[in-house]
Structure formats: C-alpha cells, structure tokens
Structure 1
C-alpha cells in the first residue's frame, strides 16, 4: 500500500517548469531515493510534499488523504512529516535537547516532561544521548546533522523527507550520517531521500527514481537502475557520476 502517492504533479516558476506531470508511489516502510542532476526537481518535489510549495496541478496523497486540497490543514499534515535539509537549522543559543523539544512543546502542546523524555529516547537512538546539554557549535557537523534528524524523528512521523543531508559535511563525517540512515531504513521508517551518494542509494533504496527535466524518467530497483538502466539519459548520468568519482 502506498503511503505517499503523487499523480500528475506540476510545479512551475513562471516559464520555468520544475516538475512536469510527475507520478510516484512510496510504499509504507520503504525507502525511495531520488537522483538526478542539479535542477532536475528533486528538492522542489520534497518541498511540495511538505506543503512548503503549492503545486500548480496534480494530486499528492498521504495515507489516502489529498494533502493538496486547499482545505487541507497544512500544519496538521506537516506534523506527520519529518524533514531534514542539508542545512542543520539548529538554534545556536539552545541546547541539543531544547532544539529537539522546541516544536513538540511550542507547536504540538506536548507537556514539557513528556517531550523531554521522548527527545532523550530519540537522541539515544541517533547516538547523541551524551550531547543533550551541548550547544550546536560544540558538535561536529555530523553530530549536528544527527541532531537535526532527531528533531525530525521526535514526533514519530509517518514519512521522513531528507534532502541532500550529507552535502554540507566534510567527507570524513558523511559515513556516520549514512550509518544512521541505514539504521532507520532497517527500522522500517518510510523515507523519501534526495542524494548524490550513489553507493548509499544502491544499498538502502527499495526504489530509485531518476529525475530528468522535472520528470521521473526511470524508476526501478537499485540493482536494475544502476546495473542495467533502460534509458540512455540514465546511463549517461551514471557514467558521468562514475567518471567524477574516479
């Protein structure tokens, strides 16, 4: 059963069409990875799913509910979606624990003691239990990104959206974040991920979607898409990535 379904989604900025008649299904408990060149529409797709952008046409359904309906409660919908961007967006004056509990307490009106107990569970889950009282600038980049993931997980979202979350990290810190995503994948958390990390995509994805000019040009299991892509443009993209990686 599809937890997330997109049908005929279109998004344009003036004459620039970023998403064009986009169809995609993300099954509950699965991991779908979006790949493609910069400007192919990956980040815009995630922003549309989280209702940070309004689609021009088409329907996005979450748990069978049309979330693109103008009457939909955007705040309620967003509360069931965890989002992590490449920028950590942690408040520097707050401790890690306070960063993670801020939305549950202020937005969702969770009691402070309940929110703190849940946050400590999640921080332990991401390997930061000993950093709960630290400020963000006392953490490495990888730890800051794990704190951002903890913040997204604290409300037990039905869906996680992750947008190039390793791109701002030094190479030696990428591994610790990818290890965490592997763990989340094994826990059955539904994830839609944009990444340039092809080896990671091949390892964790149930389906890989290659975007080209705002369309899902090719969708398939990672062994097929990386090992025997059907579309010439997919082969060209992957060949260029391999050459760049040496």
Structure 2
C-alpha cells in the first residue's frame, strides 16, 4: 500500500469548551484529491488549519510523508515549505505586482535567485492563462484572476501537498468555473490535494475520496459515487437531500 502524503490520527481540537474536531482519522494518498464536505461550522476549515500547523492540536498527531509534523521538535517552517495553502480570501499584497506576490516566498524562504523565481512564476502564470497579468497589481484583476494568482503563489514553492479551503466561496458565480478548471488541471497533473468545498457537483466530479464532516466528526467517507450515490448515514442523507433541494447538486441516477 502506498504511504499517504498526509495522515491525521485521532486529531482533536477545541476552542474553549467547544470541541471542533473529535478524533479525526484521515489518510490522503499521493496523487489524489480528498474533498471535505459538510455544513458551515462542521470543522472543515479548522481541519485544514491544523494540517498546516496554523492551529495547535489538543490531542492526536498529523503526519506528512510519515513525519510527525505535530511533534514539538518538528521544524514548522520546513513543514510549511512542503504544504501550499489557498484560502477563500486571496491575501495578495496590494502594493506588489502579481509577479512579486508569487516570487516573494521562493526568494525569501527558499533562497531562489530573482531570475529563477521569476522564470518559474511566469511558467506557472502562463499555464493558468495569466501570463499577461504578471506586471499588474491585484486591484486590477477580477476575483477569479486573483484567486488563480493565489493558487500560482501556492504552487511556486513546489509543494508536496496543496490545501484549498473554500477557494470559490468569495467569488461571484460566473467566476467560479475558471478557478475550478485550474483544480481539474492540477488533478490531471497528479497534484495531491485536500479541498473543502460547498461545490458538491465539483466534489463529486473531481474527488477520489469524499469526507462528510458533521459536528467535528468524519461521519462518512468513501469514493464520491458511494458518499453521494449511496450514503450510509442518515445525517449524510439529510445533508445531501437539502443540497439537492437547493439545486446545488443533481440527484444521483
């Protein structure tokens, strides 16, 4: 069996008396896409923040290529260099051009020279249809373009794993498609990804495994055809029926 890129083992996280993650177990195989679905407040974003060490666990462990990255002795900077993260807020520096936004981390954190960092950034921008925007400032771009730039910035460091946290949530509906097309392309290229999303049809299409979170518990997980087509848990069925009723997911045939 292939060693998973990311593995969560009995992960627990609370904020005060509120338990947000309860004994989460999850394995993300290499070259796979794992989709986290569930209602707002189910723990999806907290799970992502824990995986990138932005939150400290109360219990359990997280492994990146079988290295316990939650061990207090782990080098957090080294870990974060291997994990790319894109949030729903673009978090681009407004006073810097697209190219400077993308090359900042490769130059400052990875020690790449300007020419090498810019060459790689331009290659990625071209791949995502943004080469003409390299010298623009973020406020001159559409929301979809800004989010694609944020994805390029995450890819510029050559991450082992890409975490995508509700990356279409802040976009106008007509811009969602261009960002999801990028994720499809990354999947075809073999990028290992974990994405939390409310785009159920997209999750069903692109994910290799789907995890339904409810009240901080992975209540159900499996291939998309099973979770969406034949959910085993009543709570999963209730959630999906509401999504179908809202017109955000076509009924399974």
TM-score, normalising length: structure 2? 0.96
Q: Does 1:126 align with 2:128?
A: yes
Distance 2:75 2:121 in 1: 25
Measure how far apart 1:105 and its partner are.
1.1
- 2:220 is paired with a residue of what secondary structure? strand
Tell me, which stretches of 5 or more residues in structure 2 are unaligned? 249-253
The 5-angstrom pairing of residues 153-168 of structure 1 reads: 153-168=155-170
Q: Does 1:36 align with 2:41?
A: no
Which deviates more from structure 2 when the two are superposed, residues 153-162 or residues 124-133? 124-133
Match of 1:101 in 2: 103
Q: Does 1:61 align with 2:63?
A: yes
Tell me, which stretches of 5 or more residues in structure 1 are unaligned? none
The 5-angstrom pairing of residues 118-197 of structure 1 reads: 118-197=120-199
Distance 1:11 1:228 in 2: 30
The 5-angstrom pairing of residues 80-91 of structure 1 reads: 80-91=82-93
Match of 1:232 in 2: 234
Measure how far apart 1:109 and its partner are.
1.6
Measure how far apart 1:245 and its partner are.
2.0
Could you list the per-position Cα deviations for residues 173-201 of structure 1 after superposition, in whole angstroms to 9, with x for gaps in the alignment? 00000111001011110000000000000
| Mapped contact 2:98–2:149 kept (Cα < 8 A) | yes
Could you list the per-position Cα deviations for residues 16-68 of structure 1 after superposition, in whole angstroms to 9, with x for gaps in the alignment? 00000000000000000000011110000000000000101001000010000
TM-score, normalising length: structure 1? 0.99
Distance 1:125 1:62 in 2: 28
Measure how far apart 1:76 and its partner are.
0.6
Match of 1:4 in 2: 6
Distance 1:100 1:115 in 2: 8
- 2:157 is paired with a residue of what secondary structure? coil
Aligned residues: 246
| Mapped contact 2:110–2:157 kept (Cα < 8 A) | no
Distance 1:64 1:127 in 2: 35
Could you list the per-position Cα deviations for residues 207-240 of structure 1 after superposition, in whole angstroms to 9, with x for gaps in the alignment? 0000011111000100111011000000000011
Distance 1:126 1:101 in 2: 16
- 1:245 is paired with a residue of what secondary structure? coil
Query: Could you say what the CA RMSD is over the residues aligned between the two structures, in angstroms?
Result: 0.8
